[in-house]
Amino acid sequence: MNMIKVAVVGATGYTGVELLRLLARHPNVEVCAVTSRSEAGVGIADYFPSLRGAYDLQFQDPAAADLSRCDAVFFATPHGVAMRDAPALLAKGVRVVDLSADFRIRDIPTWEQWYGMPFTAPDALSEAVYGLSELNREAIRTARLVANPGCYPTCVSLPLLPLLRADALLPEMPIVADCKSGVSGAGRKAAVGTLFCEAGDNFKAYGVSGHRHLPEIRQTIASLQKNVADKLIFVPHLTPMIRGMHATTYVHLQDGVSPQNLLEEFYSGSPFVDIMPPGSMPETRSVRGANVCRIAVQKAPYDAGNVWILMSVQDNLVKGAAGQAVQNLNIMFSLPETAGLDAVPLLP
């Protein structure tokens, strides 16, 4: 079988180096170009010594790189870049997986409000498929443009999907998603707030008045159980670990509904969602470095309703970003969904 030729645009961040890590050992993929405006000409293994021996490529200037010879391009860029550059690639027959937020939101005014810039690629948006693999697997197969989900939306949505599809949530009650992320979620740019001495031995909430992943999660909820779409309360927190994300989601379910079975059935064919046995409490480290979301559910000790606590963990850089992007690539190119993604989590 021919190797699929891919490029990574904007590979100096954490999502980028994680893509490179995963793609280096993908049996069906060849990385033929990696671009970076700031590091053009630098060897990627000089820039990231962890890649020594795995790559012999240099960062190319995006303006100079001819990406049209690739079969697929990953965008690991700040928002705005894929919106600008993806349409030309699509026109040349290159398929695109965008890890930025550009094509995640269907409603253009909503996107513009949250991202603070005009949206300029409505045609591309109209064909974009939201790349939550387990939700949209069929549409992804034939998609030319996949909008890879945000890390929080992946972690919060996966335990909710089966419940929403079953219309199991009480429409008059809130859905509280209290989420905790490792610091790599904030990216690799120089900033005081994510210094070791600021983020270490510390815990805090952020984005409480409104985080960009809120409309993204609401959009997914609304697509499945419309009458609870406005019931989401979402608060992200920064926790002093490098990788890992934990969502604790509190839901009020219809009387008699027990989510364990709903979840097990929904994900029976999904290799990367692990429904743990009753009584489990998933640890973020149990998925470190691997493309897995582990989920456990527990009934709350609560007499006033059928309240359940949904706990979901993922490596924010893998299932929450680069790993799901590769998963989507696999689906798009009819590869085994697990190709290049079978590494066992690193513990401890």
Q: Which of 16, 159, 162, 244 binds a second copy (CB under 8 A)?
A: 244
Q: Which of 30, 52, 61, 91 binds a second copy (CB under 8 A)?
A: 52
Q: Which of 173, 222, 257, 339 binds a second copy (CB under 8 A)?
A: 173
Q: Does 285 bind a second copy (CB under 8 A)?
A: yes
Q: What is the token pair recorded at 96?
A: 């695109």
Minimum CB distance to a second copy smaller for 86 or for 214: 214
Asked whether the CA dihedral 331, 337, 342, 348 is positive or negative, the reply is positive
Site string for a second copy, 53-82 (x = CB under 8 A): xx----------------------------
Q: Which of 57, 222, 257, 276 binds a second copy (CB under 8 A)?
A: 276
Q: Which of 243, 267, 319, 341 binds a second copy (CB under 8 A)?
A: 243
Q: Site residues for a second copy, window 299-318 (CB under 8 A)?
A: 299-305, 307, 309, 311, 313
- Could you tell me which of 11, 98, 74 has the C-alpha nearest to residue 48? 11
- Residue 158 near residue 293 (C-beta atoms within 8 A): yes
Minimum CB distance to a second copy smaller for 95 or for 294: 294
CB of 127 to a second copy, least distance (A): 31
Q: Does 4 bind a second copy (CB under 8 A)?
A: no
- Residue 327 near residue 315 (C-beta atoms within 8 A): no
- Which of 32, 70, 151, 179 is labelled catalytic? 151
Amino acid at 9: V
Answer yes or no: 151 catalytic.
yes
Q: How far, in whole angstroms, is CA 56 from its chain's centroid?
A: 28
Minimum CB distance to a second copy smaller for 52 or for 141: 52
Minimum CB distance to a second copy smaller for 84 or for 204: 204
- Residue 173 near residue 252 (C-beta atoms within 8 A): yes
Residue 41 φ/ψ region, left for φ over 0, alpha for ψ in the -120 to 50 degree band, beta for the rest: left
CB of 126 to a second copy, least distance (A): 28
Minimum CB distance to a second copy smaller for 120 or for 254: 254
- Residue 145 near residue 85 (C-beta atoms within 8 A): no
* Dihedrals phi, psi of 342, to nearest 5 degrees: -100, 15
Q: Site residues for a second copy, window 202-231 (CB under 8 A)?
A: 202-206, 208-210, 214, 230-231
Q: Which of 78, 80, 87, 174 binds a second copy (CB under 8 A)?
A: 174
Q: Which one-letter DSSP state was computed for residue 344?
A: P
CB of 235 to a second copy, least distance (A): 6
Q: What is the CB neighbour count within 10 angstroms for residue 20?
A: 24
Q: Does 345 bind a second copy (CB under 8 A)?
A: yes
Q: Residue 65 in 3-state DSSP?
A: coil
Name the burial class of residue 281, with classes exposed (0-12), middle (13-18) and buried (19+) by CB atoms within 10 angstroms of its CB. Answer: exposed
Asked whether the CA dihedral 323, 327, 330, 332 is positive or negative, the reply is negative
Q: What's the CA dihedral at 335, 68, 30, 124 to 10 degrees?
A: -40
Minimum CB distance to a second copy smaller for 116 or for 200: 200
CB of 348 to a second copy, least distance (A): 4
CB of 40 to a second copy, least distance (A): 18
Minimum CB distance to a second copy smaller for 99 or for 146: 99
Farthest CA pair distance, the chain: 64
Give yes or no for a cis peptide into 109 (omega within 30° of 0). Answer: no
The residues annotated as belonging to the active site are 151
